[in-house]
Amino acid sequence: MLKKAIKSILFTGACALALTSVLPAQAAIVLAATRVIYHAKDAEATIKLSNEGGIPMLAQAWLDKGDVKAAPSTIEVPFTVTPPVSRIDPGKAQTLRIIYTGEPLPQDRESVFWLNVLEVPPKPAASEAEANFLQMAFRSRIKLFFRPAGLKGRADEAAAQVIWRLTQAGEAGKAQAALEARNPTAYHVSFGVLELVGGGKTATFSKGGMVGPGETKVFPLTGEVPTISQAKVNYQAINDYGGPLNGQAPLSAAPTVPNSAATGK
């Protein structure tokens, strides 16, 4: 049994993220969206935080460039988040304002950043000082897309323009069939579930992933892989509002893996 109270609050990003993934249901601060779209023509972007817990919470907010372990004090991004720290009472809300500070960003494609919100419970009252308890800080992390004006095409059409090929992932001798996705658009495309189907066979990638503008990503498949002539890609993309966008696409005519080796584990 513990002899003394455990009073440590986990402020570091990596620890907080780990706790979030283990105990997500206990987080009190809820974000109103799963992504933020910052249109370059706008003066700011906003997102609402709500405290759905039973006690007041502090919320610390910052942006990063993709390194989940980076400390907020070491990160340089072309945005200001205000307020950086706020107290939110139970049942109340706070609006975060994200303001672009004008440093150069690509104008021919989207840029992506990550918004972090770390919730910190209050210190224990004096009457609880000798009690045995553990305080935890939970961290939420969502994407922020900076979208320049005048980009070619539309964001909700980008997933349908992705080019798919059958390839291999992994080391020689241990490789497995995989879907290669090439994104020729100016927009980031986020996927949930991917399926390669045909001839009564299905191979799946269910971990989700994102393909940036001009990027190529590989998604390992598990299951039975159909022959190239029969195969179609069923995808579930995620739109600007966090909702599913389902579609189907053909495979490119030239695979990079022989059919005989196209069997997922």
Residues 139 and 26 in one domain: yes
What's the pLDDT score for residue 76? 96
Taking residue 186's Cβ as centre, other Cβ atoms within 10 Å add up to: 22
Q: 16: number of CA atoms within 13 Å, CB side?
A: 25
Number of independent structural domains in the chain: 2
Q: For residue 1, tell me if it sits in a domain.
A: no
Residue 190's closest CA among 221, 222, 158?
A: 158
Mean pLDDT by 10 residues, the chain (265 residues): 34 39 64 98 98 94 96 95 97 98 97 96 66 75 98 97 94 86 98 96 97 98 93 97 97 57 34
User: How far is the C-alpha of 213 from the C-alpha of 231, rounded, in Å?
Assistant: 25
One domain for residues 224 and 125: no
pLDDT for 83 equals 98
Contacts of 191 (CB under 8 A, 6+ apart): 159, 181, 208, 209, 210, 211, 219, 235, 236, 237, 238
Shortest CA distance to 143 belongs to which of 176, 110, 102? 110
Q: Is residue 52 part of a domain?
A: yes
pLDDT of residue 2: 33
Handedness of CA 26, 28, 34, 38 (dihedral sign): negative
Q: Are residues 175 and 72 in the same domain?
A: no
Tell whether 206 and 175 lie within a shared domain: yes
Write out the two tokens for 49.
């935080």
Q: With beta carbons less than 8 A apart as the criterion, state whether 188 and 219 touch.
A: no
The residue range of the domain holding 122 is: 13-147
Please give the structure tokens belonging to residue 151.
Answer: 């980009």
| Domain identity same for 142 and 18 | yes
Residues 47 and 142 in one domain: yes
- In this structure, the answer to whether residues 66 and 104 fall within a common structural domain is yes
Does 99 map to a domain?
A: yes
Task: Specify whether 74 is located in the same domain as 113.
Answer: yes
Longest CA span, the chain: 71
Q: Are 77 and 116 in contact (CB under 8 A)?
A: no
- Where residue 115 sits, what CATH number does that domain have? 2.60.40.10
> Of 127, 147, 167, which residue sits at a domain end?
147
Token pair listed for 206: 């269910």
118 and 179 both lie in a single domain: no
In a domain, 235, yes or no: yes
For residue 6, tell me if it sits in a domain.
no
Query: What local confidence, expressed as pLDDT, does residue 127 receive?
Result: 61
**23 in Cβ contact with 136 (< 8 Å):** yes
